[in-house]
Amino acid sequence: MPQYVYQFAEGSKDQKDLLGGKGANLAEMTNLGLPVPPGFTISTEACRVYLTTGKEPDGLAEEVSKHLAALEERMGKRLGDPKDPLLVSVRSGAKFSMPGMMDTVLNVGLNDKSVNGLAAKAGDERFAWDSYRRLLQMYGKTVLGIDGGRFEERLEKAKDAKGVESDVDLDDDDLRQLVAEFNDVIRAESGRDFPQDPREQLDLASRAVFDSWNTERARLYRRQERIPEDLGTAVNIVTMVFGNMGPDSGTGVAFTRDPATGEQGVYGDYLPNAQGEDVVAGIRNTLSLSELEQQDKTSYDQLLEIMSTLERHYRDLCDIEFTIERGKLWMLQTRVGKRTPAAAFRIAGQLIDEGLIGEDEALSRVSGDQLAMLLFPQFDPRADRQLIGRGMAASPGAAVGKAVFESHRAAEWADRGEDVILVRRETNPDDLRGMVASKGILTSRGGKTSHAAVVARGMGRTCVVGAEALQVDHTARQFSTRDGVRVSEGDVISIDGSTGEVFLGAVPVVPSAVVEVLQGGEPSGISGTDAEVVGAVRRLMAHADSRRRLGVRANADTPEDAQRARTLGARGIGLCRTEHMFLGDRRKIVERLILATTDEERTSALDALLPLQRQDFTEIFAAMDGYPVTVRLLDPPLHEFLPDLTELSVRVGVAEATGQPDEDAATLLTEVQRLHEQNPMLGLRGVRLGLVVPGLFTLQVRAIAQAAATLIQSGRDPKPEIMVPLVAAVQELETIRETAAATVAEVANETDVELAFPIGTMIELPRACVTAGQIAEAADFFSFGTNDLTQTVWGFSRDDVEASFFSEYLEAGIFGVSPFESLDVDGVGRLVSMAVDEGRQARTDIKLGICGEHGGDPDSIHFFDSVGLDYVSCSPFRVPIARLEAGRSAVAVGGAGSSDSR
């Protein structure tokens, strides 16, 4: 028979899987000899059985009886005894902290008889009846599912009748009356009386804690924090100690350091004559711990000594809950405390200096998500603001500007010195000029992998997408909210890309000093806490770089992005998208190339594009001189370079209807109709485009080779790599490779410069993954395009699914997180791992990287490191995050860096 119940002395802080965080830490404090009320823990294994089968596991009731009897013997009391009752609390406690998400019931064991025994034993009628009304209130809400407002209404009426503001001003007669009223509420709402059997109270309260694992708020919290659904919670049965026994009693919360700043000192709140739930409920104003020193110096000094003991023992910031019962201090809980990103880095640095942890441990204590919050400007938390909408936080930062609703107008306003926010229902490639010009981007549609989100992250622009409550009217150049707020062109708005919030008016912005440090600068005008945070970031980033095996490159399409990525620590470009180079004025030339019907027309278009492409590559190679630049040959479907079919059809139809036929437009319409595809993302794009449109890829390869030759002649060290997109069969790659190699050789002969470039492919189709061994025979490198690979593995169109049904999938627990946000390890990851193994078996020297959005996701980076990729590539502003997480991954597996492209 498995064991499901454990005394506190049987456990330790390392048994959170079994005992939950609270139970494990109560056990640890017990074994440290700290004053912990005696008790026992029902394990998470029991909860999992209950959640799976709908009933408690066999033997659990007997185990609880055995441990309860031992507790009664130790305390010299029986649960709910009419004369001298033992009372217990029933508390939740999962492996991962979920503050306020699950349920607790205090004072279990009180009933209509034992309340009198408690009053007599304590010599305090008011205390006993206050404890009883608390039990009825918690039990009714938690165990019986009664609306808590029903109890609050009666409590407020009692205070109003008495003419007092606080419940501590109600006397024992008032509380007796409240108990009677609460019993009436329970009877009316549940159809039964409050159970007078103490053991029934205990069993039903324990079951309610199990059930609270699946409350809506708990499930939502787990999704947000990426906590697995199947862990379950432990139940802790703890002897009650009372903070509501008068002015020499109370309850409080303390932190061994300031969780907001990391400042060393004594931080926390204390509430006299109260029970634990009162502090977090905010029913009365709390006192600072310094005021506790004035009231009860003995308990205060003991608390400080215990805080010091716990911080040295846990080697981290500790969050502590305590109760004082008539001058006796009791420890009710401790855990490693949550903290702000700035505090996380500062505390990690402090603990190194104090000799409590080493640099590897410090690196494991911070995260890429925390670093991201420090990299972007943020709104001043002290400033007033008017929230008018909320969407998805697509790209971090804080942006303030005038609302502009058209891309070309955003660029025009920016050119004359205006700060603008581009507001669209959704964006497309034609909006790029306005997106570049804007301080931030706001859309009412789309998800985290929509065009707006992906482009904004790549540029480091603040972006909020999917703000569905905003009704955007491009024609009227305004948007309105459901609350009736109307924002017209030129009105100032503020958007927070870290929270998804949209504010009316200008909210003050605080810049980031951390970015300046990561770019090698020395920020001026900072001191104290800020300087210590910046120093800790610099220190831990240097250690991460020294430990990581994974190289870090950037996705960059312009020399400005390439230079920015380099200053942030990128050692190469893992994805240079050439399609962005063909937008704007060049789009018409590409259109001419695609629609060409003669060799002369085709050659004319290619000749016009060649010098433009050559200059593009020259500038990017120069910005990343000495480091590899992986150029992806043209990838997008044809329709992105052709006139819109619907608009062109209308134009031709109107011309014919008015008797003024437009023959050029009609001819163009015929060609567009001929090339039109029902599903262009799975149509004529990538390598297929290069094979079907003569000269297109040759043009690009020639431009790459000529740019490299020019730079080599000037003493520079360009290192281009040519990447062929959307390959599904080795024959496709072999054909393009042969032509590309011949073109590079031609340029080498023409310029008398030795040229040899790696030629590889993006692995972004399932077939490419399962035939990776064949493809590797023709490839010098693989770069996994996990955006499209995720689409094709799942059968998703990422531009559609996030907005249409992802919320339902997340709600139902089908996803823990969007597979476009963090890699689907079980599906997509398995294919990546398979391709890595087959590729390396076929060619041991093949270079392997990843250039999808997942290259900047912390969890995904750890996976890529584990399967042996050589580098990750991400947007420039996520390069520091990738560097940090690559170091953390190496520390987690005990490795050290050796990648030649780190």
What tokens does 575 get?
Answer: 């994805």
Q: Are 447 and 803 in contact (CB under 8 A)?
A: yes
First-last CA distance in the chain: 53
* CA angle 847–724–760, rounded 5-degree value: 20
What tokens does 253 get?
Answer: 């919360």
3-class secondary structure, 478: strand
Find the radius of gyration of the CA atoms of the chain. Answer: 33
Q: Are 393 and 497 in contact (CB under 8 A)?
A: yes
Whole-angstrom Cα distance, residue 252 to residue 74? 27
How far is Cα of residue 637 from the mean position of the Cα atoms in its chain? 32
Rounded to 5 degrees, what are φ and ψ at 202? Answer: -60, -45
- Count of C-beta atoms within a 10 Å radius of residue 322: 26
At which residue do the structure tokens 């089908």 appear? 814
Burial category of 522 from C-beta neighbours within 10 Å (exposed 0-12, middle 13-18, buried 19 and up):
exposed
Among residues 576, 769, 851, 874, the one annotated as catalytic is: 851
What tokens does 740 get?
Answer: 């590309």
Write the secondary structure of 670-736 as one string of H (helix), E (strand) and C (coil). Answer: HHHHHHCCCCHHHCCCCHHHHHHCCCHHHHHHHHHHHHHHHHHHCCCCCEEEEEECCCCCHHHHHHH
E strand or H helix at 630:
strand 628-632
Largest CA distance in the chain: 106
What tokens does 837 get?
Answer: 């193994």
Whole-angstrom Cα distance, residue 511 to residue 380? 9
DSSP labels for 315-376? TS-EEEEEEEETTEEEEEEEEEPP--HHHHHHHHHHHHHTTSS-HHHHHHTS-HHHHHHHHS
Closest CA to 891 of 349, 347, 361, 316: 361
At which residue do the structure tokens 């001929």 appear? 674
Residues facing residue 69 across a β-bridge: none
**DSSP class of 83:** S
Q: Is 874 a known active-site residue?
A: no
Among residues 451, 543, 854, 862, the one annotated as catalytic is: 451
Q: Is 451 a known active-site residue?
A: yes
Whole-angstrom Cα distance, residue 703 to residue 586? 15
Write the secondary structure of 601-669 as one string of H (helix), E (strand) and C (coil). Answer: HHHHHHHHHHHHHHHHHHHHHHHCCCCEEEEECCCCCHHHHCCCHHHHHHHHHHHHHCCCCCHHHHHHH
Q: Give the alpha-carbon dihedral of 760, 766, 767, 768, to 10 degrees.
A: 10
3-class secondary structure, 93: strand
**DSSP class of 429:** G
Handedness of CA 323, 324, 326, 329 (dihedral sign): positive
* CA angle 102–107–113, rounded 5-degree value: 145
**DSSP class of 570:** -
E strand or H helix at 631:
strand 628-632
Closest CA to 321 of 740, 313, 310: 310
Beta strand segments in 210-313, E = 233-239, 250-257, 264-272, 287-288
Mark out the alpha helices in 406-491 (DSSP H runs): 407-415, 432-437, 451-459
Closest CA to 502 of 494, 510, 513, 491: 494
Q: Are 876 and 568 in contact (CB under 8 A)?
A: yes
Residues facing residue 389 across a β-bridge: 502
Residues annotated catalytic, as ranges: 451, 851
